[in-house]
Structure 1
Amino acid sequence: MIAAIGLIGALALLIFMTVRGVNILIAGPVAAAVVALTSGIAWLPPLASGGAPDYATTYMAGFTGFFADWFFMFLLGAIFGEVMRVSGAAESVARWIVGTIGIRHAVLAVVGACALLTYGGVSVFIVAFSVYPLAVPLFRQADLPRRFIPAALAFGSVTFTMTSAGSPEIQNLIPMQYLGTTAYAGWQVSLIVAILMASLGYWWLQRMVRRAVARGERFESRPSDEQVEGAEADERPLPHPLLCLLPLAAVLAVFMAFQYPQSLGALSAMLPAQSLDKWALVVALSAGTVIAMLIGLRERARMPGAFSVGATGAVVAITNTCAVVGFGAVATLSPAFQQALEMVRDLPGDPLIGAAIAVTVIAGLTGSASGGQTIALPLIAPHYLGAGADPAELHRTVAIASGALDSLPHNGYVVTTIRAICGETHQAAYGPVGALTVAVPVIGLAVALLLFALF
């Protein structure tokens, strides 16, 4: 009982601290310490008897393990995004989408720009930074409440694109190393679910915006707007938008080629016989970065700075995620966690349902889709594969499930987007964000489970 109270209380404390602005590198270890205290876990290795696990070693094992596995992907993703931004390619693509769709569909323009960049391999953190300066004037011209900008950014980045088949985001790649699948696992169901989530989420977002406008909410300018827009809206000539799509297309094409080398016919002899799994993303992002640099040659003097900023951003992003993975690693030692996991694994019926519940809960506990998968899959994959679950179906179920409760208020991306990028408060902006990034993926997950059961 004490362990269960401690686990729930630690999660509540973690959410409270992050919402209040406490750095996740502090909040994570503190919340994990509460779990250790209430679960009888020794604080330090010398205090652990008989080789039992301890708080410090377990937390750092989770922290450094995730860092070692995914640092290169974070690094290349962040650098690619920065090069796209500095070259003007990201802005050109986003402005092209805005111009094509029109001011009457300002919300759709922001969502579409985020979706294209995310599915093109740009890190979700970089996408938010890139599109926000364009969303501000767009919402101003349409006179829409700016508190919905975080929701539009998040919906286009971390829902129907992030966990869909073929997505080069790591949330779609992590299951491959545990299940022996490819990034396109379960693509038929994934396509249907992605269309459903995109349609439902956009309708819901538009409805929330219209109701807010009907209540009299309008765009409220801030002194910082001119500086934000000026950083990207200078008079420099931008590359042609169709040319700027080449880096995104290259990431997807190279990624797919290394996932399915046999599909290239005679050219396949130049590639490894087997899929490179997550390392294919490193090759793909490298190719996209080179092309983006060629497109932005006129900005070559700024490229070293882009690499530096991207590297720094990658370290910040991955360490924030590592902080909650470390918390999750300690949480898995709690007797309450183990009892809950056993209950979920022993659920009768379709093993996909048990896997979905387990990943959803763990992703919510850690506040991270990627962190939740990293913790959950080693524990559940052997069990559910042994129970007869199809690896491709399990991959897609786990990916979609990880993108639901991960977006609770303490999620690193949510905190960064709402507070650091958009300058909003959780009170004003999290309602729409939660509806679109928690409720919509949960509905998509239910539909995916139904489709897998039927077909």
Structure 2
Amino acid sequence: MSEVISLIGLVGGLALLIVLTLRGWNLFISAPLCALIVAFSSNIPVFTGDINFVQNYMAGFTGFIASWFFMFLLGSIFGKFMEDTGAADSVAAWITGLLGKQRAVLAVVAACAVLTYGGVSLFVVAFAVYPMALSLFKEANLPRRFIPAALAFGSVTFTMTSAGSPEIQNWIPIEYLGTTPYAAWEVSLVVAVFMAVFGYWWLQRIINSAVKRGEHFQERSSDPQLVDRELPHPATGLLPLLVVLGLSFIYHDTLMQNALIIALLGGVISLMIINWRFFTNLQAALGNATTGALIAIGNTAAVVGFGGVARVTPAFDLAVAAVTSLPGNELVGAAIAVSAIAGLTGSASGGQVIALPAVGPHYLDLGVNPEQLHRVVAISSGALDSLPHNGYVVTTIRGICNESHKDAYWAVGAVTVVVPLMGLSLAILLFNLF
């Protein structure tokens, strides 16, 4: 009976968190409140004992900040410097002239895809590309509420989980399955192309429908005001991005996540050197960047804290045991297990790390091809993880783009949940046919 109540509390707390997030509640209030409901339903004490609400919530909260603070800070500074110097506007104008205003969305998606596949962290990509995306959407007069969807689609779908990607979601299975980052690359290539083409078509269709209803770009007082001033050459905005990409690629294998600190620091310094005379207010840019980084990482850490409490409940263990022992097709079972856990934790990597110790040996003993299992696990981790409470989704929509979930999430969900699920289905179909 206690396990049933715990399960009701876990599902109810998660559902309430999603609803409150969509309604725009402050995550510093809603996330711990929902985590407290989960704790009460599982008889987890608030303060006392080896496992308690405060300890586990704050372990998740502070652990995320400890791991990501410098990346968030430097990424935010890089983005603000791109804004303040006019480099973002210059690159946007150059791309618009090259591709035409009707290709603004493609430019944003492509920029995110290149940086993501080059090894730059998903969070950092959003910080770096947002200023350019804002300028492109303004230039094309597109509704700004779709910027998060364009950023997310280029970062967490066809690049994040495809063969060869240096993102952690493609590397975690290696430890458990003995594979390589290029596991099942043939099927992965087909799936990646499908997700890229179909997802872009669908996103463009969603945006075009909004434009036909009369939506357009709406400026805000907080937007960078760079009217009637000399802009730097577009290359001065592209070169720092290449510095970030190059340094991340060079140091990724040796320093892993810490390579991003070097890469972003290099990008910030190169941007300052190249565009020093174009700064309008360096101190204000640093102040705004710091505030933005703190808000973004705080919102995300609040949600991660919820996951820290959820993981120590009896219901969570029950759910993991249930989804990792599903009968039927092994690849389907693995996909369901990883997707479900990623959805519960709001984390693609979290879903893999929790599921693989049980799923990996079990299915390998049954004779499942490890390369096929690797690719299915990777792709499935990037689907239900993008529910409204996901840390990346919260950061991108609220912390970076300053949009509401109500306005921005549905397009994000379409291209980061539905499209990857379709890609996952295609991958399983191809593996079973050939």
Q: TM-score range by the shorter chain?
A: 0.7 to 0.9
Counterpart AA for 1:235: R
Of 41, 44, 49, the residue aligned with 2:44 is: 41
**CA shift in 2, pair 1:136/1:90, >3 Å:** closer
Equivalent in the alignment of 1:22 = 25
Of 11, 14, 17, the residue aligned with 2:14 is: 11
Equivalent in the alignment of 2:158 = 160
Counterpart AA for 2:256: D
Q: Is residue 24–residue 404 contact of structure 2 (8 Å, CA) maintained in 1?
A: no
**CA shift in 2, pair 1:309/1:392, >3 Å:** farther
Equivalent in the alignment of 1:382 = 357
Rounded to whole Å, the distance in 2 between the matches of 1:391 and 1:20 is 42
Q: Deviations over 1:22-53 (max 9, x none)?
A: 221221111111111111212212xx3xx4x2
SS at match of 1:236: coil
RMSD: 3.7
Equivalent in the alignment of 1:219 = 215
Rounded to whole Å, the distance in 2 between the matches of 1:180 and 1:78 is 37
Q: Is residue 93–residue 136 contact of structure 2 (8 Å, CA) maintained in 1?
A: no
Counterpart AA for 1:231: Q
Matches within 5 A, 1:26-175: 26-45=29-48, 48=49, 51=50, 53-116=51-114, 121=120, 123-127=124-128, 129-140=130-141, 148-164=146-162
TM-score by length of 2: 0.81
**CA shift in 2, pair 1:393/1:95, >3 Å:** farther
Equivalent in the alignment of 1:238 = 232
Of 349, 366, 373, the residue aligned with 1:373 is: 349
Of 227, 247, 257, the residue aligned with 2:250 is: 257
Counterpart AA for 1:288: G
Rounded to whole Å, the distance in 1 between the matches of 2:312 and 2:105 is 44
Unaligned stretches of 5+ residues in structure 2: none
Rounded to whole Å, the distance in 2 between the matches of 1:131 and 1:24 is 27
Counterpart AA for 1:130: P
Q: Is residue 111–residue 155 contact of structure 1 (8 Å, CA) maintained in 2?
A: yes
Deviation at 1:9, TM superposition (A): 0.9
Counterpart AA for 2:205: R
Deviation at 1:108, TM superposition (A): 2.8
Identity value in percent? 52
Q: Is residue 90–residue 244 contact of structure 1 (8 Å, CA) maintained in 2?
A: yes
Deviation at 1:250, TM superposition (A): 2.9
Deviation at 1:330, TM superposition (A): 1.3
Equivalent in the alignment of 1:268 = none
Count of residue pairs brought into register by the alignment: 424
Of 430, 437, 447, the residue aligned with 2:426 is: 447
Q: Is residue 118–residue 169 contact of structure 1 (8 Å, CA) maintained in 2?
A: yes
Rounded to whole Å, the distance in 2 between the matches of 1:4 and 1:416 is 28
**CA shift in 2, pair 1:200/1:169, >3 Å:** same
Rounded to whole Å, the distance in 1 between the matches of 2:75 and 2:370 is 27
Rounded to whole Å, the distance in 2 between the matches of 1:286 and 1:391 is 38
Q: Is residue 292–residue 399 contact of structure 2 (8 Å, CA) maintained in 1?
A: no
User: Is 1:337 aligned with 2:338?
Assistant: no
Rounded to whole Å, the distance in 2 between the matches of 1:186 and 1:148 is 33
Deviation at 1:98, TM superposition (A): 2.1
Equivalent in the alignment of 1:278 = 257
Rounded to whole Å, the distance in 2 between the matches of 1:61 and 1:199 is 40
Q: Is residue 176–residue 360 contact of structure 2 (8 Å, CA) maintained in 1?
A: no
Rounded to whole Å, the distance in 2 between the matches of 1:286 and 1:131 is 19
Q: Is residue 178–residue 378 contact of structure 1 (8 Å, CA) maintained in 2?
A: no
Q: Is residue 76–residue 127 contact of structure 2 (8 Å, CA) maintained in 1?
A: yes
Counterpart AA for 1:431: W
Range with bigger deviation, 30-39 or 402-411: 402-411
Q: Is residue 19–residue 409 contact of structure 1 (8 Å, CA) maintained in 2?
A: yes
Rounded to whole Å, the distance in 1 between the matches of 2:342 and 2:55 is 22
SS at match of 2:127: helix
Unaligned stretches of 5+ residues in structure 1: 261-274
Equivalent in the alignment of 1:269 = none
